[in-house]
Structure 1
């Protein structure tokens, strides 16, 4: 059985392996040991309420209980832009007209903004390639919303997700090469690592302060603004099924899109129910997403569940995977 559980310091080797597999442009999984170790320490403290709620960053691991292997990772940041700006480019339309010529022109432009400060963020969703079928990705993605639903007050009223932007088959990022590199003058990988492992002061120092007209860009850079990486299409589809929508914001480095949704309108948060567990001798009922009812003991699985009034009847394997006993509370999303 697959289970989603909190990450901790003991998961470093597995997290580093996933970071290497994730490839270029996956900013939230840098191949940087100090950054990943600090993230795991923060995750452990977050689940144990050892940090202020807005500063929490919950990292989740997808584990195969039969083999003990870690198959994927995901995360939830309770608040972004609190200690450093959370910059994006907003895609805007600038209208210009000439009464003399009786003509009007609408120009698309990118404007540096810091609009999402204080929002929560779901991200870092990555699975081993061989695990991207069969529902593992859906379990991992939805577990983030089950976590939010346990104690919504720990999280902001708006939740965002940033999707990786477009890279060519040879690993080139057209937007970085033709636009962002002109301002940052770094290799993409170096800028990506610095974005994840520093306080981001270099972004504040070097990011463009004036609108960038898209018509002045090469076509290959202009065409990838807001375009999702080929490996991110499934993630985008899952986000959209939960109610997330494109916000007209894109990443500074690769122009990947930002999507967002009000916390309480996220489908899994809205539709999951709090029920009391009863043990059934055998697994039966419709398959559903089930999580524990406490953040500190968070675990989530997909398993057959029979709903009987205010009770959820689960098999022994599911109870053991969740680490709970009969009579405890769980959250269930059919």
Structure 2
């Protein structure tokens, strides 16, 4: 059975393997052991409540409880743009009119902005290719919202998610080639590495200061603005099902869209109830069991599974095997979602 659990320093080899599998442009999973080791250390401190809420970075692992193999990873950041600005491009419309020629027209343009400083972020969602169609993705993605729901006060009122932008069949980013590379003058891989392993000063130094008129940009780059990588389409659909919408912001390197939703409007959070756990191993009530998402209600001991649950009022009945996966006993308070 699959279980979502906190990540820690011991997961470095598994996380490195997932980083290599994630491919080009998956900025939040750099193929850098030092960077990922620091992230896992921060994750352990975050789950232990040893860092300020806005500085926290919770890394979640999707693990096969029978084999012990890590099948996927996801993350939740308590705050964005805390220690350095979080830059994006905003797609804006600039209207122009001339009374002398009786001409009016609109220009679409990209403007560098820093608008996400009051957001928490869900991201880094990646699964092994063979697990993407098994429902594992939904379990891992939705577990992030149960983590937020376990202690909403630790997170911002707005939750954001950045999706990887479009890459063509040759694994080339038209947005990078047609727009971003003109300013940064670096190989994509180098810029991608620097965004996670440096303080980001190079962005402030090199990013464009003035609007970029989209009519002056080649077609392939223009069409990539706000487009999602083919492997990111399922993640986009899951975000939309939770209530996320495109914000008009795009990534400054690959043009992928930034999605946002009010924390208290996320469907998994609004559809979750707290209940007292009870053990029901007898077969008489099996017909009343329904597969539900269930988790602990504590960030420090967070674990989540999808398993048969029978809900009766303020009580949730599960098998002893499910309780063991959650590492809770009868009488514990859990979160249950449809």
TM-score if structure 2 supplies the norm length?
Answer: 0.98
Is there any run of 5+ residues in structure 1 with no aligned partner, and where?
A: none
* Superposed CA offset, 1:234-292 (max 9, x none): 00000000000000000000000000000000011111001000000157311000000
Corresponding residue number in structure 2 for 1:206: 206
Corresponding residue number in structure 1 for 2:250: 250
Instruction: Map residues 178-257 of structure 1 onto 2, 5 A cutoff.
Output: 178-257=178-257
Between the aligned partners of 1:294 and 1:75, the Cα distance in structure 2 is: 16
Aligned residue for 1:307, secondary structure, equals strand
Aligned residue for 1:254, secondary structure, equals coil
Between the aligned partners of 1:203 and 1:268, the Cα distance in structure 2 is: 35
Aligned residue for 1:66, secondary structure, equals coil
Instruction: Map residues 113-192 of structure 1 onto 2, 5 A cutoff.
Output: 113-192=113-192
Between the aligned partners of 2:101 and 2:65, the Cα distance in structure 1 is: 71
**1:29 aligned to 2:29?**
yes
Contact 1:61 1:73 survives alignment (8 Å): yes
Corresponding residue number in structure 1 for 2:331: 327
Is there any run of 5+ residues in structure 2 with no aligned partner, and where?
A: none
TM-score if structure 1 supplies the norm length?
Answer: 0.99
| Superposed CA RMSD | 0.7
Aligned residue for 1:223, secondary structure, equals helix
Between the aligned partners of 2:189 and 2:42, the Cα distance in structure 1 is: 24
Candidates 304, 307, 319, aligned match of 2:308: 304
Contact 1:82 1:118 survives alignment (8 Å): no
Between the aligned partners of 2:104 and 2:222, the Cα distance in structure 1 is: 22
Between the aligned partners of 2:209 and 2:316, the Cα distance in structure 1 is: 55
Number of aligned residue pairs:
334
Deviation at 1:66, TM superposition (A): 0.7
Q: Which moved more, 1:37-46 or 1:282-291?
A: 282-291
Corresponding residue number in structure 2 for 1:288: 292
Aligned residue for 1:208, secondary structure, equals coil
Instruction: Map residues 38-117 of structure 1 onto 2, 5 A cutoff.
Output: 38-117=38-117
Between the aligned partners of 1:163 and 1:197, the Cα distance in structure 2 is: 20
Between the aligned partners of 1:282 and 1:234, the Cα distance in structure 2 is: 37
